[in-house]
Every structure is written in structure tokens, then in C-alpha cells.
Amino acid sequence: MKLFKSRKNEAGRPDFDRLPRHIAVIMDGNGRWAKKRGLPRTAGHAAGAEVFRKIATYCKDIGIEYFTVYAFSTENWKRPAEEVEAIMKLLEKFLGEALQDMEKNRVKVKFLGDITALSEDLQKLIAETEEISKKYEGVQVNLCVNYGGRDELVRGVNAWIKEHPGQEITEEVLDNHLYTAGIPEPDLIIRPSGEYRLSNFLMWQSAYSELYFTDVLWPDFTTRDMDEAIIAYQSRDRRYGGIK
């Protein structure tokens, strides 16, 4: 249930009766945020994790149904081992706290990506989080971990070939073999930090998504920045290749 009334006539605020159903975010700029402050990159990731909590809570409060974030890509393993380890510890910390507060927050959590590459402890935490939270209704938060759009497509096609050798694959069939099966395509994809690319994020699902870019680094991203992204989305005419 929405906690905000419609404010379509209020200047500078979104129309909360016409919200996108699914918002996805590429959480970018943590390292640059830390560097600007003379801090280690790990400090940027910690700050970014706190912003994720705030924005996810805001999405829940205003009535967004699905909120998906790019937390760790298949290419991020190339980063220094110390940085990768810090990210995994942050993920473990987040899951531990999420489990403690799960009944209070009542947010459904789903992980998208190949989690078999993660530690056994992390895999157990992920499985426990998903199992407990699947009964909750309302916002669903999807965390893309060890996720890559191209890798997802290859896995989906290979899964179909294995199940149905010699048969042609269709768009609908492939869609049902992806990590996002059953999840609506994102209406709006936001990328902070001043970069203008998707970086292998939701390559299949983003075919008709509206894109929004901002120079704000992720650790500086606020609910006001989210409002501005939604306002920009609401100003666009989505035709899906047709004519209106």
C-alpha cells in the first residue's frame, strides 16, 4: 500500500499514482566517491550499501513493486582481491541484518546471478533470506550478484538446448529461462556517476526500458534524486515501437 498520496499538482514531485512498476539501478561511483575524500575504495562501497538501504526503503514506501540493483557483476572479479573481499563482507553483513529485521520490514528478496561462485556461508545466507522472505507481499528487491547480461543469455539458451535438443527457441521460452523469469521488465533503469552505458546489465530485459543518467555518485544519491528520475520517466511517451 502506498504511503504517499497523489501529488501530481505539486511542483517538483512525481505523480505517485503513475509510478513505474519496476525500477533498476546500476549502483556506480562508490570508488570515485571514496577517492574524492581520500578514503579507500572499500569505504565507498560501505557508503553505497547504506544508500541502497535508504533507496530500497523509499521505493517500498512510495509503492514501487520491484527494485533491482546491480551489486556485483561477473566482471567485478577482476578487481583487487581486497576490494572483492570487502564487497562480499558487506553482502554478508547486509544479509545478516536483513534476516534480523525481516519480519519488521517484510520485503521479498531475490538474488539474480550465479551464486555458486560465492562462499558456502554466503550461499546459505542467500538461500535462507530468499526462503523466509518469499511469503511477503509488496516490494520485491532483486540483488544482481555475480550477474552479467550476456552470461545470463548464454545460460538460458544452454538450459533450453539441454531440455529440448533440436527444438527452436522463442522469445517467450528464453524469457522463462532467465534469472528474471516471472519478474516484469524494468520500466526505468537509473545509472548514477556520469557514465552512459548499461555495462552488461539486464541486456535482454532492458529492450524497452527508459534510461536515466545522472552525474551524482551513488553514495550521494538521495530520495530527491530518485524523485527526479521518476519525474523524467513520467514525462516520456512510451510507444514500444508503435505510434500513438
Report DSSP letters for 108-172, one per residue.
EEEEES-GGGS-HHHHHHHHHHHHHHTT--S-EEEEEEEE-HHHHHHHHHHHHHHHSTTPPP-HH
Percent of the chain with pLDDT over 70: 93
Residues 220, 33 contacting (CB under 8 angstroms)? yes
Greater pLDDT, 8 or 86: 86
Helix (H, G, I), strand (E, B) or coil at 17: coil
Distances from the Cα of 102 to the Cα of 106, 122, 129, 208, 239, angstroms: 5, 17, 9, 33, 39
3-class secondary structure, 62: helix
Residue-by-residue DSSP string for 68-114:
EEEEEETTGGGS-HHHHHHHHHHHHHHHHHHHHHHHHH--EEEEES-
Q: What is the pLDDT of residues 124-133, one digit of tens each?
A: 999 999 999 9
Average pLDDT on 14-42 reads 97
Q: Rounded mean pLDDT of 20-43?
A: 97
Residue 192, pLDDT > 70, answer: yes
pLDDT at 202 exceeding the cut of 80: yes
| Domains of the chain, CATH where assigned | 22-234 (3.40.1180.10)
pLDDT of residue 53 exceeding 70, the answer is: yes
Residue 28 is among the residues annotated as catalytic for this protein: yes
* Amino acid 242: pLDDT: 66
Comparing 10 with 202, which gets the higher pLDDT? 202
Q: Which residue has the higher pLDDT, 7 or 41?
A: 41
Residue range 120-154, pLDDT digits in tens: 999 999 999 999 999 998 899 999 999 999 999 99
Residue 7 has a pLDDT of 40
Tell me: pLDDT of 115 over 60. yes
Average pLDDT for 171-180: 96
The whole-number pLDDT of residue 243 equals: 62
Mention every residue, 6+ apart, whose C-beta is less than 8 A from residue 37. 43
pTM for the full model?
0.92
Task: Please confirm, yes or no, whether 61 is among the known catalytic residues.
Answer: no
- C-alpha grid cell, residue 34: 571514496
pLDDT at 6: 35
Asked if pLDDT for residue 66 goes beyond 70, the answer is yes
Q: Which one from 28, 151, 187, 225 is the annotated catalytic residue? A: 28
Lowest mean pLDDT among 17-26, 109-118, 175-184, 232-241: 232-241
pLDDT of residue 166: 86
- Indicate if the pLDDT at residue 116 is higher than 50: yes
Can you give the length of the chain in residues? 244
Exactly one of 9, 17, 61, 76 is catalytic; which is it?
Answer: 76
> Would you say 238 and 210 are in contact if contact means Cβ atoms under 8 Å apart?
yes
Average the pLDDT over 179-194 and give the result.
97
pLDDT confidence band for 238 (50 / 70 / 90): confident
Residue 5: per-residue pLDDT: 35
